[in-house]
Amino acid sequence: MKNKNSSLMQKLDLPEDLTKNGYHIEIFNSCAVIDGCRSVAEYNEGKIRLSLSDACISLIGNNLTIRSFSCSQVTVDGRICAVEIN
């Protein structure tokens, strides 16, 4: 089903995050906006790990603050040094 959706999106030339299970990550200078987040898996001052539909994203840095957490969108502020996606 997931593959079907993915191939349909590719055929229609639409971004994949429009599907329900998709996720979208934007990183600015000191801010990251993650759409499609399910939950917070780990949170401390130096690391925030977020559960996505079929992956996990870890933001590693200093003074990390969750600026907002609503409607499956998370905005993280702070000095982001690394991003890990598994």
Partner 1 sequence: MFIIELLRFFSGYVRFKGSGGFSERFINLCSVHDIPLWNIAYHGDYFEAYTTINGYRKISICARNSGVKIKRTRSAGIPFVLNRLKPRVGLLFGAIFFVVCLAFLSNKVWVVEISGNKTVPDDIILTAAVDAGLNFGEKTDKINAVQLSLNTCKKIDKLGWAAIRVNGCCVYIDVTEAEPAPEIENREGIYNLVASKDAQLVILECYRGTTQAKRFSSVLKGDILISGTADNKDETTSLVHASGYAVGRTVTAIEETTDTTINTTDFNIIKRIFRLNFFSIHIPIGKAPDKYHQKFISTKNLSFNGRDLPISITCEQYYTKQQKNKTISVKEAKMISMSRFMNSAANFSQGKQIINSSVSFNENQNSATVSGEFICYENIGSEAPLEIELAE
The residue range among 7-15, 24-32, 38-46, 52-60 that interacts with partner 1, by the rule CB under 8 A, is 38-46
Provide, rounded to whole angstroms, the least separation between the CB of residue 74 and partner 1. Answer: 9
Provide, rounded to whole angstroms, the least separation between the CB of residue 63 and partner 1. Answer: 8
Nearer to partner 1, 2 or 67 (CB): 67
> What is the biggest distance separating any 2 CA atoms in the chain, rounded to whole angstroms?
42
Q: Does 83 help bind partner 1 (rule: CB under 8 A)?
A: no
Q: Does 44 help bind partner 1 (rule: CB under 8 A)?
A: yes
Bridge partners (DSSP) listed for residue 74: 34, 69
Residue with tokens 């191939």: 7
